[in-house]
Each structure stands twice: as C-alpha cells, then as structure tokens.
Amino acid sequence: MEDRLIENQTVFYSKAEHYWKEVSPTVDGMLGGYGSISSIDINGSKKFLQKFLGEGPGKTGTGCALDCGAGIGRITKRLLLPLFRTVDLVDVTQEFLDKARTYLGEEAKRVENYFCCGLQDFQPQPERYDVIWIQWVIGHLTDDHLVEFLRRCRSGLRPDGLIVVKDNVAYEGVILDDVDSSVCRDLNVLHRLVARAGLNIICEEQQKNFPEEIYQVHTIALR
C-alpha cells in the first residue's frame, strides 16, 4: 500500500534517523511538542493494559516488558516499570537511550537492556517478554518490515504474552509525512498487516481526550 509513497526504502529510513537525531531528548521532544498529553496517554494505556495482567489462565504475566521506539523512556518510566519487574528498551537513536539512563532515575536498575537498533533490524529474544509495547513508531516501518517485525515479536512472547500497538490512525488510506519520514495508515490497512503477521486482535480501543487537531490514536492488543 505504501509502496507508491515510499520510493526509496533506504532514504525513508535514513531520513527518519536524521530527523530524530535533531530532536531534543525530552518528553516534549518525544511527543512532537505535545508533552502536555503525556499523562492522558499514560493513564489510558495503563487502564487498557491492566485488563490483561494478572495470574491465572489466559492472564498476561508481569515479568518482563519491551518498549519499542522507547526514546528517552517516557513509557518505560510511567507505564512499564510500575507494572513489570524488568524492562528492555529499543530505539534507533543512541542519544535518547543515553538520556534514558538518567531520566529513569533510581528505577533504571530494573532495565536490563538498552538496544540501539531500528525495528526493521531488531530481533527480540525468543520467549522473553510478557508484553511488547509498540507506540508511535510503526509508521517508521514499511508494510513488509512491519509484518516481519510483528512476526518476530510474536516469537518473542512468553505464554499468554501480548503485543500492544498504540499509534496514530488515518481516516482513509495511507498518508506520508515527509518531515519525519513516516506513514500513517488507516485501520483497514493496519488490520490487514496484522493478519498477514499471523496475529489476532484481542482488544481495540480509541484513546480519548486527545487534542482534536491531532490524528485519532488507537490501542490494539495482539497475540
């Protein structure tokens, strides 16, 4: 679908890397100037995620989570570390991961790995994670790379583990953002890619109370 928009895959990825290298390693930088929505975002994510966590048949464990496109660790700090024993971070920008070590404060000791890698090349360790959280980053992957990444994530899950994708959703089709070199897909396109990856949608919700001028944001639980 995005093939007509992305003429050169190498340029698509390198432009995004360059864009993020110029971004300030702050919460406001991570959120494109919308740092004020961080608490609304985290609270919505926590409410969504806690429905699945616990002990017993079908419940998702709280041992280890992976934060994909983690940046400075905003989600790790406020969502994942309070709910999981350990967390791994993966991001393409080394400066953000370096900042995360101080931004996370005392709780950084429960971060086991900081992986500097693009998700198109990242290989999660098999059966390591209870939850793989992927927020505001899938637009930086081509369709094929997103499908392949989701397949690798599936193999990285522990029993009853969960993949959560939270991202902007276009109203129709696929929209290219030439500034940060990303695409925004509509729900139909996203659902087709999830199905191609062999995953099922367990739950899907729209994030409420975000500013009207930004894209609608959906949270999707997969396994």
| Residue numbering of the annotated binding site for S-adenosyl-L-methionine | 69, 74, 91-93, 119-120, 135
CA distance 91 to 41: 20
Sorted by sequence, the CB contacts under 8 Å of residue 219 that are 6+ apart come out as: 44, 45, 48, 164, 165, 166, 204, 205, 206, 207
How many helices (H) and strands (E) are present in the chain, helices listed first? 7, 9
The Cβ-side half-sphere exposure at 147, using a 13 Å CA radius, reads 12
Question: Residues, the chain, total?
Answer: 223
Q: Which tokens go with 60?
A: 């998702």
Q: State the Cα–Cα distance between residues 125 and 135, nearest whole angstrom.
A: 19
As annotated, the binding site includes 69, 74, 91-93, 119-120, 135
Which tokens hold the place of 222?
């997969």
DSSP state of 126: T
Cβ atoms of 161 and 216 within 8 Å: the answer is no
Cα–Cα dist 120/108, whole Å = 26
Please name every residue paired with 175 in a beta bridge, in sequence order, or none if there are none. Answer: 184
**What tokens were used for 70?**
């983690």
Rg (CA), the chain: 16
